[in-house]
A and B are shown apart, each in its own frame.
Chain A
Amino acid sequence: MNLRRLANRLDGCSRRDLLTTAAQGLLGVSLLPLVPSLAGADPTPGTGGRRPTAKNCIYLYMSGGMSHLDTFDPKPGAESQGPTKVIPTAADGVQVSEHFPLVATHMRHVAVVRSLNSTQGAHEPGQYFMRTSYTQRGTIRHPSMGAWVSHLSGRANPTLPTAVSIGGGRKPGAGFMESRFSPLPIGNPEAGLQDSRRPAGVDGALYQRRLDLLGRFNDGFQAAFDHKPVRAYNDLYDEAVQLMASKDLAAFDIKQEPEHLHDAYGDTPFGHGCLLARRLIEHDVRFVEVELGGWDTHDDNFDRVEAQANILDRSLSALLADLTSRGMLEETLVVVATEFGRTPKINGNTGRDHYPKAFSCLLAGGGIKGGQVHGATDPTGGSVVASKVEIPDFNATIGYALGLPIERVVMSPSGRPFTLADKGRPLTALF
């Protein structure tokens, strides 16, 4: 049901009643009695009855709008296809563009979703929608998927953050949630985690004295002003101190990987990012986003897509092979997402423009049945003709795979109800 619309048209009191009723239904309280220690006792509920098909997620974000026609939804013979050719893959009947010869060999693990569509045709709103499942509003900041994962799943590694975000620009982060749920940003994957060691002149004792002093100042203030923002601020310090002391700090250092593996992933920031993502997942970080930009191909589409596709092909195929050999792919969902596709019509600058009406994303590993295509577009790639997938549905699928309670309502500080994927329903046919 359209909760938000309903809630908005009710006055304060009956709105609360409605939400109480709705929450009972949504939380499944009446259906699934929860063992307290598996669900309610810890301050970040969500471990109860998760039933995950994947434990972790590597979310590769193609920023700028990846041309579906020149990547994973090619239309051989159509005028809209332009010069991009098509190759077969290891999965029967699944074709991709010629720019993905390496990924094609891993297609048995990959499900291609070709029927996505969005309502947002500009980059920032489109990326926001893809990462949060909600369209931008002036009155609220929605949390990103990484923040939802942090909030709903709890930590697997006691000293590392639950979510990490590598590369790219401004992202929705924790949104209205407390800042401790925000994915830890890593600017340059090759440099790893910056400022995570004590300065040279500060020994253990001095460092501890400084922390104690900080604690003395903070304790008084926090006792007097025990508010969420104040706690959030102190949490941030505690997290940082904990992280600095972590024996798993080496997870952030990709220089510990042999050189041939660097080569296999590709000597690009995105390749390093993917390698770092694998290391972090291996150390029980639950959600890692890696961004690859450069897909906004308004001009010179075919050369520029080829260049970006080569980067993605190499890094993604290495990542899938690496995860497979380590036995991690079964429990790690690999997502390739973007904000929209590009126009079937080739413009005057041999470019393609923004096209939210139809585009493609990938899901691999983590319980996904590979080698399948979900949904389809018409022969020009211009509109979805089968199994239309809305962005919230796609994100609900990620939440479902991770076993997160996608139906659980989390209230914003202003008292508005939100869920991980808005009203999206998971694509259970993919599992």
Chain B
Amino acid sequence: MATLPRLIAVLAIAVCAAAGDAPPSTVYSTQIQPLLSKHCWSCHGADKQKGNLRLDSPSAIMQGGKKGMAVVAGHPEKSSLLALTTLPADDPDVMPQKGDHLTPAQIDLLRTWIVAGADFGAGPTTVAKAAPYVRPTTTLDQRAAKVTPPGEAALKKLRDLGAVVTAVSANQALIDVNLRHATKLDEALAATEAVATNVVWLDLGGSPFTDSQAKTIGRLTNLSRLHLERTTCGDAVLAQLANCPQLEYLNCYGTKITDAGLKSLAALKTLRALYLWKTAVTTAGIATLKQALPDLVVTGAPPESLTNPAPDETAGKKKGKKAK
């Protein structure tokens, strides 16, 4: 993975060189061939062919020698060129036998080139295939580009009040704020307002959060996930959510919300998951909301076995228990 900066350098050189010169430069001609000529050709070139191996032309390289295939495209582990140059310095078989051993950077370059398919002709794009793992950009990362990262003091204040703050975008502009263990919830909620545009996930699950604190939620205009489960809040919070047009996930399990509150969610076009187990919401209320938001997945009570098993089933299990 350390190859990324180096690889960028390789690509940059290759691209720059390609811009003016003809024939077009390649990774092979600019990087690999010079390395081979300096370290290998004195024994594996026009003058000498030790081990029946020449490394001074693409066809000779691919032909290999007495010790097998020097280069197997895409398979560094099968390529003796790499195997022999990476041996410990005191190994009797290590290559080059004469002169300096290859540096880690040079070995890395060879490996990168072989992994990418050991291309002799094509441009640098083929090497890009060997690029190390980079975490893919997420939709949050894209959104984060437009947001100023939170200030140090504001984060410290939140943490001091017992909030767990986690960055959820690559540039650290968007944050997850968990207030479930906050020492003073009122103050902690007030403190989130200082980073209002940064908070995309807010977790109040099981906290003493109530409707009287609902106004804060309406100020967090970038919210996409909101946990209200197992709090005593009700419809007043839902009314505030009109200010959070990017809300995707809303957990109201075990709260006091009702059908009336559900109506205020109809305008949230991005809402895709809503949890309503142990609320007073009715199937009619859900049906009305689903008319406005047909793609919304509403999750209510779990299957009956988890809420209240059928009487005969319970009896059967009781018997089973006793038998044990």
Question: Contact residues of A with B, CB < 8 Å?
Answer: 1-3, 5-6, 8-10, 18, 21-22, 24-26, 30-32, 34-39, 47-52, 154-159, 260-261, 263-264, 267, 282, 284, 318, 321-322, 324-327, 330, 400, 403, 407, 425-426, 428
Measured between C-beta atoms, what is the minimum distance from A44 to chain B in Å?
13
Q: B156 interface residue, CB < 8 Å from A?
A: yes
* Given A48-B167, A155-B164, residue A327 in contact with residue B138 (CB < 8 A): no
Min CB distance, A387 to chain B, in Å? 16
Contact of A264 among B167, B181, B306 (CB under 8 A): B306
Structural contact, A51 and B141, CB atoms closer than 8 A: yes
Asked if B152 and A36 make an inter-chain contact with CB atoms under 8 angstroms apart, the answer reads yes
Indicate whether B299 reaches chain A with its CB closer than 8 angstroms: yes
Complex contact A9–B253 (CB within 8 A): no
Check B142 for interface membership: any CB of A closer than 8 A: no
When the two chains form their complex, are residues B249 and A38 in contact, meaning their CB atoms are under 8 A apart? no
| Nearest CB in chain A: distance from B229 CB, A | 6
Which residue in B1, B4, B164, B302 is a CB contact (below 8 Å) of A322? Answer: B302
Q: Are B86 and A6 in contact (CB under 8 A)?
A: yes
Q: Mark B266-294, 1 if CB is under 8 A from A, else 0.
A: 00000001010100000000000000000
24 cross-chain CB contacts under 8 A: A2-B86, A22-B1, A25-B6, A25-B132, A30-B5, A37-B152, A37-B159, A39-B167, A47-B165, A48-B167, A48-B172, A49-B171, A51-B169, A52-B168, A159-B181, A261-B306, A284-B178, A284-B180, A321-B303, A321-B306, A322-B302, A325-B300, A326-B229, A327-B299
Measured in the bound complex, the distance between the Cα atoms of B133 and A24 in whole Å is: 15
Nearest residue (CB) in A for B107 is A6
For residue A259, which residue of chain B has the nearest CB?
Answer: B314
In the complex, which residue of chain B has the Cβ closest to the Cβ of A159?
B181
Task: State the Cβ distance, B104 to closest chain A Cβ, in Å.
Answer: 5
B168–A403 CB distance below 8 A: yes
Q: Which residues of B contact A (CB under 8 A)?
A: 1-6, 86-89, 104, 107-108, 111, 132-133, 135-136, 138, 140-141, 149-150, 152, 155-156, 159, 162, 164-172, 175, 178, 180-181, 206, 227, 229, 249, 251, 253, 273, 275, 277, 299-303, 305-309, 314, 317, 320-321, 324
CB within 8 Å for A50 and B155 given contacts A10-B104, A35-B172 = no
CB distance from B188 to the nearest CB of A (A): 13
Known: A30-B5, A263-B314. A426 touches B306 (CB 8 A): no
Check B5–A318 contact: CB distance below 8 A: no
Within the complex, the shortest CB–CB distance from A331 to chain B, in Å, comes to 8
Contact between A284 and B168, CB atoms less than 8 A apart: no
CA distance A407 to B138 in the complex (A): 18
A327-B229 in contact (CB<8A): yes
- Known contacts being A35-B167, A49-B171, A51-B168, is A25 close to B1, with CB within 8 Å? yes
Given contacts A49-B170, A325-B275, are A260 and B299 in contact (CB under 8 A)? no
A residues near B206, Cβ cutoff 8 Å:
282
Quick check: A156 and B178 within 8 Å, CB to CB? yes
The answer to whether B166 and A325 have CB atoms under 8 Å apart is: no
Task: Report the minimum CB–CB distance from B171 to chain A (whole Å).
Answer: 7
Query: Would A38 and B165 count as touching, CB distance under 8 A?
Result: yes
Q: When chains A and B are docked, how far (Å) is the Cα of A35 from the Cα of B169?
A: 12
- CA separation between A10 and B227, bound complex, in Å? 52
Are B273's CB and A327's CB within 8 A? Answer: yes
Contact partners of A267 in chain B: CB under 8 A? 317, 320-321, 324
Q: Which 6 A-B pairs have the closest CB atoms?
A: A25-B2, A327-B275, A327-B251, A325-B302, A22-B2, A9-B88
A47 touches B167 (CB 8 A): yes
A322 and B306 CA atoms in complex are apart in Å by 7
Residues from chain B with a CB closer than 8 A to the CB of A6 are 86, 104, 107
Is there an interface contact between B301 and A325, defined as CB atoms closer than 8 Å? Answer: yes
| Given A37-B156, A49-B169, also A26-B273 (CB < 8 A) | no
Residue numbers in B under 8 Å from A263 (CB-CB): 305, 309, 314, 317
Contact yes or no, A326 B2, CB < 8 A: no
A34 to B300, CA, bound (A): 40
A321 touches B135 (CB 8 A): no
State how many angstroms separate the Cβ of B250 from the closest Cβ of chain A: 9
With A156-B164, A284-B181 as known contacts, state yes or no: A324 contacts B302, CB within 8 Å: yes
Question: Known pairs A25-B1, A39-B172, A284-B164. 17 more at Cβ < 8 A?
Answer: A1-B3, A6-B104, A10-B104, A25-B6, A35-B152, A38-B165, A49-B167, A50-B166, A51-B138, A51-B168, A156-B164, A156-B178, A158-B162, A325-B301, A326-B229, A327-B273, A327-B299
Q: Is the CB of B180 within 8 A of A326?
A: no
**Bound state CA distance, A35 and B168, in angstroms?**
12
User: Which of chain B's residues have a CB closer than 8 A to the CB of A3?
Assistant: 2
Q: A38-B165, A325-B299, A400-B135 are in contact. Are A264 and B309 (CB under 8 A)?
A: yes
Question: Within 8 Å CB of B305, what residues of A?
Answer: 260, 263-264, 318, 321
- In the bound complex, residues from chain A placing their C-beta under 8 Å from that of B156 are 37
Q: List chain B residues, Cβ under 8 A from A50.
A: 166-168
Residue on A nearest B205 in the bound complex, by CB: A282
The smallest beta-carbon distance between B93 and chain A, in angstroms, is 13
On whether the beta carbons of B1 and A407 are closer than 8 Å, the reply is yes
CA distance A261 to B169 in the complex (A): 38
